Amino acid sequence: MSIHYAGDIDSKGNAHPFRVAVRDGVSPDVTRHLENSPGIEVVDDPAIAQAALIRSATKFMSPDAIQEWAQLMFLVRVGVGTDNIKMDLASEAGIATMNTPGASTEAVAIRAVTFMLAWAARLKQGTDSLAKGTWPKGDQTVEPRELDERTLGIVGYGRIGRATAKKAAPFFGKTIFTDTQSIEGMTSMQELLASADVISVHASGDTEVLTPTLLQQVRSGSLIVNTSRGGVINPAALLDCMDRGVSVALDVFPTEGPAMFQNDTIQKITQHPLFFGTPHTAASGSGTQKKLGLEGAGYATAFAHHGSVNTGNIPGHTLPRMIPTERKGTGVRGVVTHPSVKGTIGRIGNIAQGLGLNIAQFCNEQGPKFGETRLAITAFDLEDAGVEEGLNVMRAIGKEISVLRSRLLLYENGTE
């Protein structure tokens, strides 16, 4: 016999599957995967969803948006960034956040290297000439650039930056990198911009990393590649670089969609003869999207079955990694998100003891501070306790501490 998760207990003592909403065109394979996962139900109604997998369209940027998801405890942004989630609001509401950066790493790195090789081969110039009915072979304007005599500079040496360097380095004579964190072997931003022939940007967030002052150091004849976030490069200064001979390859833009071309600077960049790019499609392939979604589904399943959060230990989220051990016998497990207040674990233990129950396992973590809130999560197994005892403990906890979100998980015997 094995112990398995059998559902969440509601306030009336009834068990129901863990409810997950799948939004924004997340791969249909993900929905099918979750529908076939024991103990999980895919739902459409945000009011009853306990977890959600979203892409960009669903926004968690206002209190009203958070309030619509009254039972949400676990939120997965299927993709690299979390620009559509306001972390301080999620933290205040007791929502554990996640994203899925792993699956898109290869695709984004490949796109960055593709831009570099296209620039080296002068594919844009060759294509434009042929489209005009000219044969420019022998013309310097279509003569390939020799990368083995040039320097590649990586701005942002995280997961994607390292993957890009690994794929691109064999083509270049030298590779250098810089980062906001201190990493052995890194160079300064100023030195990188002044010496690199190809600058590939892999910065996180939307903070402007390449400012007008820094971009003045980029040499004419070089290439800037950005496959990270559009807001990390000042657009007006980028256009100035292009006007003095710097090529630019972009997959991301400060604002995206048809309306972006109403911006005069963006329009001039995309129409510039030294521009080539793609409409934020580096990680849009169906295979990549499936992998991203399944990565998110894995995080949601771990939370559903065990109460585990942030199993990838990805920084920048409302909670760090917490992985309770598997329950060893039948019974119930409580999972509570609450403000990080000293003594909370002891108070939960005292509540259980006061009701004549023992706690077999405690697991607790606190997250970083967002705004005025530092979120914490506590998971605990009640020993020799059934549904009614578990509900009594959860009700008492709700009266004694500031509970933001909570679950009572039921475990039963199953067959191997």
The structure tokens listed for 343 are: 């003594």
Q: Given this model, what pLDDT does residue 1 score?
A: 58
- Residue (of 138, 409, 108) closest to 284 by Cα position: 108
pLDDT score recorded for residue 416:
47
The pTM (predicted TM-score) of the whole model is 0.82
Q: Are 174 and 151 in contact (CB under 8 A)?
A: yes
Low-confidence stretches of the chain (pLDDT beneath 50): 416
Token pair 């500079």 in the structure block, residue:
153
DSSP string, 344-355: HHHHHHHHHHHT
Q: Can you give the pLDDT at residue 83?
A: 85
CA atoms within 13 A on the CB side of 396: 18
Give the containing element (helix H, strand E) for 286.
helix 286-306
Cβ 198 vs Cβ 225: under 8 Å? yes
Instruction: Report helix, strand or coil for 314.
Output: coil
**Domain ranges (residues) in the chain:** 2-102+287-414, 105-277
Q: Which CATH number fits domain 105-277: 3.40.50.720, 1.10.3720.10, 2.130.10.10, 3.40.50.300?
A: 3.40.50.720
The CA distances from residue 223 to 74, 192, 194, 353, in Å, are 41, 13, 12, 66
Spell out the CATH class of 2-102+287-414: alpha beta
262 phi and psi, to 5 degrees? Answer: -75, -15
Residue 127: HSE in the Cβ half-sphere, 13 Å Cα cutoff = 8
CA 61 to chain centre: 16
2-102+287-414 shares its CATH topology with 105-277: yes
Per-residue pLDDT at 104 = 86
Secondary structure class of 397 (helix, strand, coil): helix
| Per-residue pLDDT tens digits for 251-286 | 999 999 999 999 999 999 999 999 999 999 998 888
